[in-house]
A and B are shown apart, each in its own frame.
Chain A
Amino acid sequence: MTESTGGIDMDEDSEGTVKKFAFVNRKAPYGTVYALESLEVVLISAAFDQDVSLMFIDDGVYELKKGQGTKAIGMKNFSPTYRALEGYDIEKLYVEQESLEERGLTEADLLVDVEVLSRADMAALMEEQDVILSF
């Protein structure tokens, strides 16, 4: 530990440790701030070279709906940011099939390439993670 790192442990053992991080997104955009906050933390996590997955279940699937236009409600349309995630090496986006079906949506309604998983597969993916961040 040195003063130049502000007390942060920079020894070699901690460098190279890659953990599996999952962001579990369950909220529709705009009605609450969860979806936008999740996206902000995802972008921050990109700086730490971790194994990041984004999971979209329940109303979270609405975050990826094509055709969002927020001019009339006076809020920022943050949906284009999901398409930019690839540029930050965040490419693992998983969407739950059952959640889409309950909302009359299909993969074709989404604005970015995703992998559609069954609820059972989503549960298994959740079990594999080292860290889960819930939104």
Chain B
Amino acid sequence: MLHIVNKSPLEKNALESCLGHAVAGSTILLIEDGVYAVTKGNKVEAAMKKAMESCTVCALWPDLEARGMQDTVIDGVKQVDYNGFVDLVAESATVQSWL
């Protein structure tokens, strides 16, 4: 299952709810303001690292670059472009967007 989060982790509880519902083996894709969750030093860094022990965490790099956060991404996060985004959706039987 693919989970998509597009909200900043420090403004909305979308990421928190996502992490609470994503079972082991899930893929979590962060887009738009959601990408701040995988930047070093963010308050949710520890929670993201814990999620990465059982889930694949991806982030859309155009959104990281737009926000000037491309050089501070947590190690182990898979960066994808728009084609990679489409591939993830196509590979997944179901998608939950935490709007």
Contact = CB atoms under 8 A, between A and B. Distances in A.
A1 interface: no
Contacts of B66: 29-30, 68-70, 72-73, 75, 77
B42 A102 contact: yes
Contacts of B72: 104
B69 A59 contact: no
Contacts of A58: 10-11
Contacts of A79: 68
B48 to A, nearest CB: 12
Contacts of B62: 72-73
Given A28-B33, A73-B62, A62 B40 contact: no
B32 interface: yes
Interface residues of B, number: 26
Interface in B59-99: 61-63, 65-72, 81
Contact of B67 (A32, A65, A102): A65
A8 B44 CA distance: 52
30 contacts: A28-B8, A28-B36, A28-B67, A29-B66, A29-B67, A30-B32, A30-B33, A31-B7, A31-B33, A32-B33, A59-B8, A59-B36, A62-B67, A65-B69, A66-B68, A67-B68, A68-B66, A69-B65, A69-B66, A69-B70, A71-B65, A72-B81, A79-B68, A102-B42, A103-B10, A103-B36, A103-B42, A103-B43, A104-B41, A104-B42
Contacts of B71: 67
A103 B8 CA distance: 11
Interface of B: 6-8, 10-11, 32-33, 36, 39-43, 45, 61-63, 65-72, 81
Contacts of A102: 10, 42-43
Interface of A: 27-32, 58-59, 62, 65-73, 75, 77, 79, 102-105
